[in-house]
Each structure stands twice: as C-alpha cells, then as structure tokens.
C-alpha cells in the first residue's frame, strides 16, 4: 500500500492518490503514517526535478495533489488530545522561500496538542519575526526551510531576536527538507528535525508538566 501511494504521487495520479488516502484512513490507519508516505512521494518528485525529468509544472501539480491528501487527513490529524492551552508558537517560512506544506502540517499538529499557533506565512522578512515575537511573546519560534537560500534569513532572524534580548526563555526550532544539525548550529537554533511530530514532541517535552 505504502509503495503504491508513493508511486501514484510520483506519477502525479491525483484520483489514485486521493482514493488510496481515503481508503487507508477509512480502514483506521494512523494519519501520520499516511502523511509520511505522501512526504516521501514529494521527495521523489523533487529528485526527478533535480535530474531534469520533471519541471516546475509537475512540481506545482504534485503540490496540489499533496494539499488534497492533507485536506482528507486534516480532520484526523487535528483531533485534539488536549483542550488545555500549553504555550504560544510563532511559525514562519522566511524571506526567499515560499514552501509551506510542511509548516502548515506542523501548525495543525501543534494546535491539536493545545498550542496557540501564530503563522506568519511565507517569504517573511526577518524584522517582521522580531516585531511579532515582541508583540506575541511566544515560548517557541519555528522556522521552516525548503531552499538553502533561506538559511541566511533564518540566521538573520535568530540574530535579531538575540540582539533584542528575546532569546532567553524562547526555544527556536527549525525544520523542513533541507535543514540539518549543521544548519541548526549555523542559525543558533535549539532544535532541528525533518519530522513535524518530533517538533511537537520537543515542544511538549519543554513545557513538561504544564
Ligand atoms: C512542493 C514543492 C514546491 C512547491 C511548493 C508548494 C508549497 N505551497 O509549499 C512549488 C512548486 C511552489 C515549489 C517551488 C520552488 N521549488 Co520546490 N519543491 C517542492 C518539493 C517537491 C516538495 C516539498 C514539500 O512540500 N515536501 C513535503 C513536506 C510535507 O515536507 P517538509 O517540508 O520537509 O516538511 C516535513 C518536515 O520537514 C517537518 N517540518 C517542515 N518545516 C518544519 C518546521 C519546523 C519548525 C519543524 C519542527 C518541522 C518542520 O514537517 C513536515 C512533516 O513532517 C521539494 C522536493 C523535496 N525534496 O523536498 C522541492 C524543492 C524544495 N524545491 C526546490 C526548488 C529549487 C524550487 C524553486 C526554486 C523552483 C523554481 N525553479 O522556481 C521554487 C522556489 C521558490 C521559492 N522562492 O521558494 C528545491 C530546493 C533545492 C535547494 N537545495 O534549495 C527542491 C528540494 C527540489 C529539488 N530537489 O531541487 N516547490
């Protein structure tokens, strides 16, 4: 089933992908497992782009199919395990980067766990992050990056927060396909992951018994 879903997404077979997602969720499968298969399909689409077999049109189509799959999974991902407000999280995809599928999934999963999410959107200028952190006073800030040119924006935003004396008591996490532990150190973040649920668990661990 897993391989079939990945393959259908790579072949950009919209109806097949959405049909399989619906079938698997109706059979009671964990929505996170289905989501991970879709993410792997997207990674494979990216590889085909890099090899020159796919172009931007295919990339756009794959993103639309992925969004359709997430729309089916969303109500199941969003089933709240907690009505308690745990902490505030500011999320953004920074300047130079417009990818937001992963960030949106993280937002849904955080909300399902009782976090108050302030999503600043995509292509966000670093000074806006500073302004919003001053205003919202979150416990967590999360940056999502899918292209390497966004690393400099992430560092700039982290430095602005540091210079303003706002890094104490604030946990900075980064994630998204191109991030690595090396990027985490470059940015000066506290946590890095390629898995949204790991990010949620990190936040839950930090807030602990709250
Ligand atoms: C879909 C896609 C697009 C869509 C984006 C649609 C959208 N609304 O997001 C469109 C078609 C618009 C697009 C455009 C471009 N893209 Co594009 N795209 C992709 C693709 C195929 C999939 C990315 C994706 O959404 N994956 C699925 C999500 C769910 O995975 P994810 O983001 O990793 O998120 C998971 C985790 O990482 C985590 N997570 C994500 N963020 C965060 C944040 C935190 C804090 C935490 C805790 C967790 C977390 O949660 C998610 C679930 O677990 C990738 C290929 C790849 N290998 O990733 C290329 C890719 C990212 N794109 C690429 C490129 C080059 C481009 C373009 C420049 C193409 C062009 N020539 O115009 C433009 C970029 C424009 C810009 N300035 O941003 C390159 C980047 C290369 C690089 N090294 O920088 C890639 C890697 C393709 C490739 N192999 O060349 N793209």
Verify that 98 and 193 share a domain, yes or no: yes
Question: Residue 159 burial by CB count (10 A; 0-12/13-18/19+): exposed, middle or buried?
Answer: middle
Pocket test for ligand 1, best of 57, 59, 143 (most atoms within 8 A of CB): 59
pTM given for the model: 0.92
CATH of the domain at 38: 1.10.1240.10
Q: Let me know if residue 83 belongs to a domain.
A: no
For residue range 57-107, list pLDDT tens digits in order. 999 999 999 999 999 998 888 775 666 778 999 999 999 999 999 999 899
Verify that 140 and 52 share a domain, yes or no: no
User: Can you say whether residue 136 is alpha, beta or left, with left for phi > 0 and alpha for psi between -120 and 50 degrees?
Assistant: alpha
For residue range 167-202, list pLDDT tens digits in order. 988 999 999 999 999 999 999 999 999 999 899 999
Region of poorest pLDDT, from 16-20, 110-114, 115-119: 110-114
Q: Let me know if residue 63 belongs to a domain.
A: yes
Q: Let me know if residue 82 belongs to a domain.
A: no
Query: What's the pLDDT at 1?
Result: 76
Verify that 109 and 61 share a domain, yes or no: no
Instruction: Report yes or no: 20 and 5 within 8 Å, Cβ to Cβ.
Output: yes
Instruction: Please name the helix (run of DSSP H) or strand (run of DSSP E) that holds residue 47, with its range, or none.
Output: helix 31-50
- Report the domain count for the chain: 2
Query: What's the pLDDT at 108?
Result: 87
Domain span at residue 159? 88-207
Residues with CB under 6 A from ligand 1: 39, 42-43, 45-46, 49-50, 56, 59-60, 62-63, 96-103, 105-106, 142-144, 146-148, 173-178, 193-196, 199
For residue range 47-62, list pLDDT tens digits in order. 999 899 999 999 999 9
Verify that 138 and 161 share a domain, yes or no: yes
CATH of the domain at 140: 3.40.50.280
Query: Is the CA virtual torsion 55, 178, 155, 66 positive or negative?
Result: positive
Ligand 1 atom index nearest CA of 67: 8
Give the residue whose CA is nearest to atom 35 of ligand 1.
Answer: 102
Q: Let me know if residue 113 belongs to a domain.
A: yes
Give the residue whose CA is nearest to atom 59 of ligand 1.
Answer: 46
CA 26 / ligand 1 centre spacing (Å): 28
Verify that 171 and 143 share a domain, yes or no: yes
Verify that 196 and 116 share a domain, yes or no: yes
Verify that 177 and 100 share a domain, yes or no: yes
């Amino acid at each position: 089933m897993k391989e079939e879903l990945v393959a259908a997404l790579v072949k950009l077979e919209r109806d097949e992908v959405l049909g399989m997602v619906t079938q698997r969720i109706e059979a009671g499968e964990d929505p996170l497992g289905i989501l991970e298969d879709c993410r792997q399909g997207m990674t494979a689409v990216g590889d085909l782009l890099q090899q020159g077999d796919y172009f931007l049109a295919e990339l756009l189509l794959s993103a639309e199919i992925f969004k359709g799959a997430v729309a089916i999974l969303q109500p199941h991902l969003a089933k709240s395990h907690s009505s308690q407000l745990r902490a505030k999280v500011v999320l953004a995809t920074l300047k130079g980067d417009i990818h937001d599928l992963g960030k949106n999934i993280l937002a849904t999963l955080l909300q399902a766990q009782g976090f108050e999410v302030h999503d600043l959107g995509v292509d966000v200028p670093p000074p806006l992050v500073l302004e919003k952190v001053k205003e919202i006073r979150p416990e967590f800030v999360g940056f999502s990056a899918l292209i390497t040119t966004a690393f400099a924006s992430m560092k700039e935003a982290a430095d602005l927060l540091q210079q303003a004396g706002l890094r104490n008591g604030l946990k900075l996490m980064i994630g998204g396909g191109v991030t690595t532990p090396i990027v985490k150190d470059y940015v000066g973040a506290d946590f890095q992951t390629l898995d949204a649920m790991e990010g949620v668990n990190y936040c839950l661990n930090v807030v602990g018994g709250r």
